[in-house]
Structure 1
Amino acid sequence: METWEELPGVSLVPTNSKAPQEKMSAQDSCLSLIKYLLFVFNLFFFVLGSLIFCFGIWILIDKTSFMSFVGLSFMPLQIWSKALAISGILTMGLALLGCVGALKEFRCLLGLYFGTLLLLFATQITLGILISTQKVQLERKVEDVVLKTIQTYRAHPEETAAEESWDYVQFQLRCCGWNSPQDWFRIPSLRSNESRGHRVPCSCYNSSATNDSAIFDKISFPQFSRLGPLARPRHNADICLVPANSYIFREGCARSLQKWLHNNLISIVGICLGVGLLELSFMTLSIFLCRNLDHVYDRLARYR
């Protein structure tokens, strides 16, 4: 649509108002794209936050994992797991804040989103670095806790949490002792007076090494049966008496556990760094959207 403008000494000339409107429309479309990208990314970000939260809770409450065994005596691990859980909750709340701020185009929410995201980014990167640098200390602590559990096995009937977890570890990883089954043979409380065999926890028994599964099925850990489900063993007063030629797992658990611990630490650090990179991109999008919303509104008001 043409409008007419009167210039000094010149008759009315037509001017075209479509150019600024087209420019405004292009920028508005770009901001709309960024707005919806930010919304979609925050939905994905919400899912990642829930994964971090679940990972932290798993470390705290899962009694059928080796993490629960380590956490019994390693307080920093418990602190890290709580920090992960809290970080996950904050991440989910922040993603919700970003979704609302982007869709409704609230500058105050977008500014709060950016500031909180910056703080969370610094926290998670610091947490990932701390966990990775504590790897050697954690491995040493794991070894100390395992050897102490073996030395005091069945010495305190009222304290069975560590022993139950260790039985589960041996059965799942198909290993016996820390370095080798000899760790159990040296325990005074498990020494057998019978020359025909050794006394070891039933979780060390390798039922697949013999065709006689009846021996294995008679012990007081029916969950360990080859025909039964892989469930957490019950703590029990029974100890398996295995033949002297030993149908038990020959490998110690040290190497398997160190590999397990290494893989899980890599997972934790990887999640923290991956989420941190996403947070960095979200900060860029949010601050760009926040800074340009006012310009669009000013132009809309000017051309109305």
Structure 2
Amino acid sequence: MGGDEEKTNSCGTICLKYLLFTFNLLFWLAGGAVMAVGIWTLVDKSEYISLLSSSTYSAAAYILVAAGAIVVMTGILGCCATIKEHRGLLIVFFVLLLFIFLLEITAGVLAYVYYQELNNELREDLRKTMVQNYQQPGKEHITRAVDRLQQDLMCCGSNSSADWTHSLWRETLAGDRLVPDSCCKTPSDLCGKRDHPSNIYKVEGGCISKLEEFILQHLQIVGAVGIGVAFLQVVGMIFTCCLYRSLKEEPY
């Protein structure tokens, strides 16, 4: 009777080991995905971020990178703990899973709070940034960000192309141009002289609406990845607890 019970326990332990090992492989891949999303936000979209007065968006991206890196290392630790059937390593693995879960909740809360404030921030700050800093001395990074924003999102001005009428750039550096050349559908030198829908982007809501739409889509991607990884973590914590309990206490 005792032999049958020991055999059953052994089979259950083996099954748990395979399940937890499979989980760790998936978790390791998910960690790479989380880190990739965070790095993409910081590197590829860094110029957009520079136009935002709040640091919440970039903070959430940094948390994702940190969480992704920890996930990758935790996945390796989880594989070692599972193969060696080491109860101490399983405890460390469980604690790390819980820590990463809390990190992701923090990033999710930051993203949610930021989205609630996003519209007001864009309307109050983006126009001011564009009309006061475009092509001004020492503001080259803002100039590059505005030009890329208008070209990538196919928009002109914060609310409309009329915003450029009262800008410092228009008063001092524009010459005959009515809008920056980056507003043009086909950019070329001095193409901003002709403020006509056939030549420049005329978008309802201007770059504010386009940037808000872009950030919302990006937050949805971040949220989907985060929810997927969080689900894996809950499963992993359950498997870890089950395997920990199935292993015999190591003698001291």
TM-score by length of 2: 0.85
Aligned mate of 2:84, from 94, 104, 117: 104
- Per the alignment, residue 230 of structure 2 pairs with 276
Q: 1:60 aligns with which of 36, 42, 48?
A: 42
| 1:114-263 alignment runs, 5 A limit | 114-190=94-170, 198-207=177-186, 216=187, 218-219=188-189, 239-245=190-196, 247-251=199-203, 252-263=206-217
Amino acid paired to 1:27 = N
Equivalent-residue separation in structure 2 for 1:158 and 1:193 (angstroms): 20
2:23 to 41, 63, 66: 41
Q: Deviations over 1:52-74 (max 9, x none)?
A: 2222223333356523543xx32
Q: What is the alpha-carbon distance in structure 2 between the residues aligned to residue 250 and residue 283 of structure 1?
A: 52
Query: Could you tell me whether the CA contact under 8 Å between 2:17 and 2:82 is conserved in 1?
Result: yes
Quote the Cα distance in structure 2 between the aligned partners of 1:269 and 1:133: 13
Q: Give distance in 2, aligned partners of 1:278 and 1:193.
A: 58
- Change in Cα spacing, 1:193 to 1:132, as seen in structure 2 (3 Å) is closer
Please say if residues 63 and 165 of structure 1, whose CA atoms lie closer than 8 Å, have aligned partners that are also in contact.
no
Pick the aligned partner of 1:267 from 221, 224, 228.
Answer: 221
Q: Following TM superposition, by how much is the alpha carbon of 1:140 offset from its aligned partner in structure 2, in angstroms?
A: 2.5
Q: Which has the higher strand share?
A: 1
Tell me by how many angstroms 1:169 deviates: 1.4
Alignment CA distance shift 1:139-1:91 (3 Å): farther
Q: What residue ranges of structure 2 are gaps of 5+ in the alignment?
A: none
Q: Which has the larger displacement, 265-274 or 164-173?
A: 265-274
Alpha-carbon deviation of 1:186? 2.7
Residues 256 and 189 of structure 1, relative CA distance in 2, 3 Å threshold = closer
1:190, 1:199 within 8 Å by CA — same for their partners in 2? yes
Cα drift, residue 41 of structure 1: 1.2
C-alpha distance in 2 between matches for 1:275 and 1:103: 22
Cα 1:63–1:288 shift into 2, 3 Å? closer
RMSD of aligned alpha carbons: 2.5
Tell me, in whole angstroms, the C-alpha distance in 2 between the residues paired with 1:152 and 1:281: 52
Larger radius of gyration: 1
Q: Show the 5 A alignment for 1:62-101.
A: 62=44, 66-70=48-52, 73-101=53-81
Q: Distance in 1 between matches of 2:98 and 2:175?
A: 66
Unpaired runs of 5+ residues, structure 1, are: 1-18, 208-215, 220-238, 299-304
The one of 234, 242, 249 equivalent to 1:288 is 242
Residues 125 and 273, structure 1, Cα contact 8 Å, conserved in 2: no
Q: State whether residues 119 and 212 of structure 2, in contact with CA within 8 Å, keep that contact through their aligned partners in structure 1.
A: yes
In the TM superposition, what is the alpha-carbon distance from 1:100 to its structure 2 partner? 0.7
Q: Which amino acid is 1:117 matched to?
A: L
Aligned residues: 246
* Secondary structure of 1:124 counterpart: helix
For 2:214, the aligned partner's letter is W
